Amino acid sequence: MKIGAENKKQMRVMIALLVVLLFVGIYNFVDFGTSSAASPASSSPSQPKKPGGAQLADSTLDPRLHWPTLIASQSIKYEPGRNIFKMEEPKIEAVAGDVRGSRPPIDVPMAPTPTPTPPAPPIPLKFYGFASKPNEQKKIFLDHDGEVYVVRQGDIVERKYKVVQINNTNVLIEDVLNNSKETIQLTAR
């Protein structure tokens, strides 16, 4: 029985990939003396650094507690408008004299007064009747151009009119497109 002898080309590719995988594994797990990470400093933190020595890493994070800065920050009181995330805020100097300088004032024409928006058209729905059963929401029948709709509170008629509230004497309907409300009386006609 021959294993892999049927397709020698596939076998050679597989061996080449295994060799590449082996080299990648060795490269990743074996330290060849070069590293991208900074090596630890030779001097202890209590010893001062030499001015001519090379600095390996510049760390601005200092875990030590700075008492003068802490005491200074505790003595500052919060005032509205002050940025509490900054220790000192640069002061803005007041400008003395005329801000415009020697330029003459510019005449700005008054903007035309806007014309008032026309009132929304009246809601064309008319009360046709109502139905109520125990333990159910009230239903009313609304007529629009000969078509009768059976609606409850919260329903929308013709994608335009929303039934906001149904009372015993009237119905509040909102025109969703024009954002206007109208009350329709529940009376027999």
Instruction: Answer whether residue 145 is part of any domain.
Output: yes
Instruction: Answer whether residue 149 is part of any domain.
Output: yes
Overall number of domains in the chain = 1
User: Residue 37 gets which letter from DSSP?
Assistant: S
Instruction: Answer whether residue 7 is part of any domain.
Output: no
In tens, the pLDDT along 58-79 reads: 557 777 888 888 888 788 777 7
- pLDDT for residue 58: 52
Arithmetic mean of pLDDT over the chain: 77
Instruction: Answer whether residue 172 is part of any domain.
Output: yes
For residue 167, CA distances in Å to 102, 171, 184 come to 69, 6, 10
Instruction: Answer whether residue 144 is part of any domain.
Output: yes
Instruction: Answer whether residue 16 is part of any domain.
Output: no
Q: Is the pLDDT of residue 15 over 90?
A: yes
Helices (H), the chain: 8-29, 67-74
Instruction: End-to-end CA distance of the chain: give it in Å, rounded.
Output: 101
Q: Is the pLDDT of residue 189 over 60?
A: no
How far is it, in rounded angstroms, from Cα 105 to Cα 65? 57
- pLDDT for residue 161: 93
pLDDT band at 85 (very low <50, low <70, confident <90, very high): confident
Q: The domain that contains 166 carries what CATH number? A: 2.30.30
Q: Which long-range contacts (CB under 8 A, 24 or more apart) does 13-17 make?
A: none
pTM: 0.39
> Span 157-183, mean pLDDT?
91
Domain range enclosing 136: 126-185
